[in-house]
Structure 1
Amino acid sequence: MRIIAWNCRGLGNASVVHRLPDVQKRESPNILFVSETKMDKRGMERFQWFVGMPNMMVKDCRGNSGGLALFWRRAVDVVIRSLSKYHIDATVQEERVEWRITGAYGDKKTEEKAKTWRLLKLLYNQYTKPWLCLGDYNELLFGCKKVGGQPRSAACMERLRNTLADCNLGDLGFVGVIFTWRNHHHKAEGYIKERLDRAVANMEWRNLFPLVRVVNGYPRHSDHRPLIVECGHREPMQFSTVKDFSLKFEAKWPEEEDCPGEQLHIYWKQRAHPLWLTKGDRNTKYFHTCASERKRRNYIRFLKDDDGAVVAGNALKPFITNH
């Protein structure tokens, strides 16, 4: 199963339209979520031919802004549950297991962002299933994930962190370039890049797809990089550092490798300590989640030999023994 989420910044753009078949051919997604389509349902029906997927759900744009669409292949069993200007929520039936996918889009306006965060909490409370939520949140988790421009409001970033933590959603990490959005300013002093797009999931979904891989793809005529989620990835996932995928105490947040240690320390002290005191000392699901995550972090998936070749699977034991 492969899923792509992409803020295409308008499907009326001829270059984007002609690039999407290339995305289909190169990545071959089973499910495709597109935001900022800037099209209504009638326009999307004409565009569907370019995508090559027979199934589609559309949330119309408003004027010349917004618009969402979810496409899926014939062999994928998808049931749409709800949609709004900020999301399309669905369930996926796969090999007797049902899980949830939400394509999300965060409001650009600071004064309107609270609507997106309230929606996520509402979706969280609707029903419990393994849950993948991905898209352009139009917000940072930490200030270190922005280069150029004015510093982001700490309060705004904290509201997103708290919302995802309250929904038991943790960042799945990524492979590739850190920043998923950049402006097109041609002068260095005006150039800005940020990590606005991300895939997050709850622990139940992580347990279904323990070897998931998220790739920040090539932007292809948009200022956003597409998120490519490979659910059934069977090769060891290699990160620039172990920190890229190290889920912290609550099994919700990966450590942001470039963030100041004190910033993370304060956040985790505030969030995790009361939860451990109230839940961690009992035989609860929370405790088992923490223990499982420690086990996952300590598990050795692969090593590299002196020549840089990856050693994995059954070859690990003799390699370690003979080293």
Structure 2
Amino acid sequence: MGNLCAVRIFGDLIKSHNPDFIFLAETLVEGKNIKELAEKFGFVEYFAVDRVGRGGGLAVMWKHNLVCQVVDSSNNFIDVHVIEGQNVAWRLTCFYGYPERNRCQESWNLLRGLVKNDGIPWCVFDDFNDMLYVSDKKGPHPHPRSLLDGFKLAIEDCGLTELDLTGGDFTWEKSKGTENWVWERIDRAFANDLWWRKFPLYKLSVSHVIKSDHDPIMLEPTHVEFSRKQFRFRFENTWLNELSFKEEVTRFWGNIPKIHLLPKLLSVSSFMARWGRMFFHKFRDKVKKQKEVIGELVNREDEEGVKRYFEETKKLDELLVHEELYWK
């Protein structure tokens, strides 16, 4: 936030997404600059942690339709209570992990120290400067397995489950267009099972911005009350006819930390529901394309053409059987 280009990018982000709450990491400025920024873009409240030397700096800001209370902070996090009525509705910890690889253990221990058994839904998100899976990095020099396992263990110790990210696989990029080009996913979000109960229909997405190595992530916590009518998941038998289904679900399930069953079930059922919606649209496309193939063969009289006609009509019949199974 120390230059005009960064402020312009920030302004465009506000106009595009109209967020009620913002967390900024590595602001590289003093708190007074954050005050000016908040007022410029219509945020009525703010809280800032000054930079240390020439680096660091954290800030949160929020609009009038939110009631927030900052309860704790350091150079690595800002802990916020979101208030509804007279009560604490949920807790949001805006986290910034140590960027130095040799300080990963300190980040993990700091995260463990933030755990509170106070019965409040808790979400912790943003820049962990750390990765969970081999697939979180693309480029030279894979991330050490010991660090992947250490971060996973810390998340499990905290009783947290990762929120599924849409919009892209990576959130940080360096050395674009060179032989050292690297993509990493170091920005993410986690929540305890109470938060999952409160916001099962959340959306977490990544959006690209120019002239920044970090892409912002956006959390939309849609609040619902559990009931049979409001939140009902249906498994479709026809999915089992798609060879990739079991493989993709198994891989997704295996990537979720082995902790509380409820958020794990919610996460995988949400994944299957999204998979099913995409499958149905693709399925109808398959039927349409298969009819087009048959239409090109229907008037052929040569032996090869007739043979292919019967083969393709058999494929169409199989697709229609799957469709009938879906509607049953």
Amino acid at match of 1:54: V
- Distance in 1 separating the partners of 2:109 and 2:88: 28
Q: Deviations over 1:244-274 (max 9, x none)?
A: 99455xxxx53xxxxxxxxxxxxx7xxx5xx
Partner of 2:75: 85
Amino acid at match of 2:111: L
Q: Shift in Å at residue 150 of structure 1? A: 1.4
> What does residue range 1-323 of structure 1 map to in structure 2 within 5 Å?
11-94=1-84, 98-125=89-116, 127-187=118-178, 189-232=179-222, 243=249, 246-247=252-253, 254=256, 272=258, 289=262, 293=266, 296=269, 300=273, 303=277, 304-305=280-281, 306-307=283-284, 322=327
Q: Secondary structure at the match of 2:120?
A: coil
Q: 1:31 to 1:297 in 2, by over 3 A?
A: closer
Contact 2:249 2:268 in 1 (8 A): no
Q: Secondary structure at the match of 2:7?
A: helix
Q: Shift in Å at residue 202 of structure 1? A: 1.1
Q: CA RMSD in A?
A: 3.2
Q: Deviations over 1:206-229 (max 9, x none)?
A: 111111111111133211110011
Q: Shift in Å at residue 15 of structure 1? A: 1.3
Q: Shift in Å at residue 51 of structure 1? A: 3.0
Q: 1:243 to 1:91 in 2, by over 3 A?
A: farther
Amino acid at match of 1:101: L
Q: Secondary structure at the match of 1:152?
A: coil
Q: Shift in Å at residue 144 of structure 1? A: 2.1
Aligned length: 267
Q: Shift in Å at residue 13 of structure 1? A: 2.5
Q: Secondary structure at the match of 2:116?
A: helix
- Distance in 2 separating the partners of 1:290 and 1:31: 25
Q: Secondary structure at the match of 1:48?
A: helix
Amino acid at match of 2:42: G
Q: Shift in Å at residue 62 of structure 1? A: 0.7
- Distance in 1 separating the partners of 2:19 and 2:126: 15
Q: Secondary structure at the match of 2:123?
A: strand
Q: Secondary structure at the match of 1:80?
A: strand
Amino acid at match of 2:262: T
Amino acid at match of 1:151: P
**Computing the radius of gyration over CA atoms, which structure comes out larger, 1 or 2?**
2
Amino acid at match of 2:141: Q
Q: Which has the higher contact order (CA 8 A, sep 6+)?
A: 1
Identity %: 26
- Distance in 2 separating the partners of 1:212 and 1:25: 22
Amino acid at match of 1:224: H
Q: 1:111 to 1:30 in 2, by over 3 A?
A: same
Q: 1:244 to 1:109 in 2, by over 3 A?
A: farther
Amino acid at match of 1:289: L
Q: Secondary structure at the match of 2:60?
A: strand
Contact 1:56 1:70 in 2 (8 A): yes
Contact 2:193 2:263 in 1 (8 A): no
Q: Shift in Å at residue 27 of structure 1? A: 0.7
Partner of 2:311: none
TM (norm. structure 2) is 0.72
Contact 2:21 2:60 in 1 (8 A): yes
Once the two structures are overlaid, the 10-residue window that deviates more, 195-204 or 43-52, is 43-52
More helix by share: 2
Contact 1:137 1:197 in 2 (8 A): yes
Q: Secondary structure at the match of 1:101?
A: strand
- Distance in 2 separating the partners of 1:38 and 1:175: 28
Q: Shift in Å at residue 48 of structure 1? A: 2.0
- Distance in 2 separating the partners of 1:155 and 1:291: 24
TM (norm. structure 1) is 0.73
Once the two structures are overlaid, the 10-residue window that deviates more, 90-99 or 152-161, is 90-99
